[in-house]
Structure 1
């Protein structure tokens, strides 16, 4: 169905369900999935201050968080690449999808309550408003 799918993932259960939804949109041998992982340094406890170890630390975090998603793609023979950036997830996702066109962006919802979402907003809601391509949010 799609030849270029962007999957934004944080390794959560919602993100894994989004990966399963992405698999349903894959056309055999014609689809490439870009797995986008954003590390928010403000949310990681005890992140090392030394930049020499910074890259290793964030790569390990990515591997921990995305292992089940990568295993799923490998099991189904889906071609994928991983892109990792540091920063505010909503800003980095929007920046990436708007500068690297994909046919669809798939991401999981955070499952915030209605009140929290009204007050704080959610990453998926903000991305939906700013992305220049269709966005599928999976609960």
Structure 2
């Protein structure tokens, strides 16, 4: 049934539950799981937020920040992989930066995914209530099936 599943992971219990469901779907149908973490990009004027300079970040500073975010994203993926039995399942890993909803949909399109399997809520529950959840946005705009796990 499903051959390519995108599973966004963010370190939340909901994402872990979604990965467990995706693993069962993959196991029963021989699908490949694409684990995706999307650390949000920092604003160019982050110095103001942390009490530093009002000047935009230099390219070197921006690259250091991006590398740190990639490493943190990989750690989230590693933690998710350790929490769920993925034996016998082909698993690929992606870390993309930007707005999570947009990057999840882009990855699904690029991979020609059959479905996105994601948690109903992530690490930013309060923010989700204020500006709309990522899962809500993805489920209403994705070009493939979206399985939301609570």
TM-score, normalized by the shorter chain, greater than 0.5? yes
Distance 1:8 1:75, change over 3 A: closer
Q: What is the distance in 1 between the residues matched to 2:13 and 2:79? A: 10
Rg bigger for which structure?
2
Number of residue-to-residue matches in the alignment = 135
Q: What is the distance in 1 between the residues matched to 2:20 and 2:85? A: 12
Report the equivalent of 1:81: 92
Q: What is the distance in 2 between the residues matched to 1:124 and 1:87? A: 16
Gaps of 5+ in 2: 51-57
Report the equivalent of 2:108: 97
Name the SS of the counterpart of 1:21 in structure 2: helix
Name the SS of the counterpart of 2:11 in structure 1: coil
For 1:5-24, what aligned pairs fall within 5 Å after superposition? 5-24=5-24
Matched, 1:36 2:36: yes
Report the equivalent of 2:4: 4
Deviation, structure 1 residue 31: 1.7
In the alignment, which of 62, 69, 85 is matched to residue 58 of structure 1? 69
Matched, 1:106 2:124: no
Kept after mapping to 1: 8 A contact 2:119/2:149: yes
Q: Deviations over 1:4-60 (max 9, x none)?
A: 1110111211101110111110136832111111111349997x9713423431232
Q: What is the distance in 1 between the residues matched to 2:61 and 2:114? A: 38
Name the SS of the counterpart of 1:26 in structure 2: helix
Gaps of 5+ in 1: none
Q: What is the distance in 1 between the residues matched to 2:85 and 2:91? A: 9
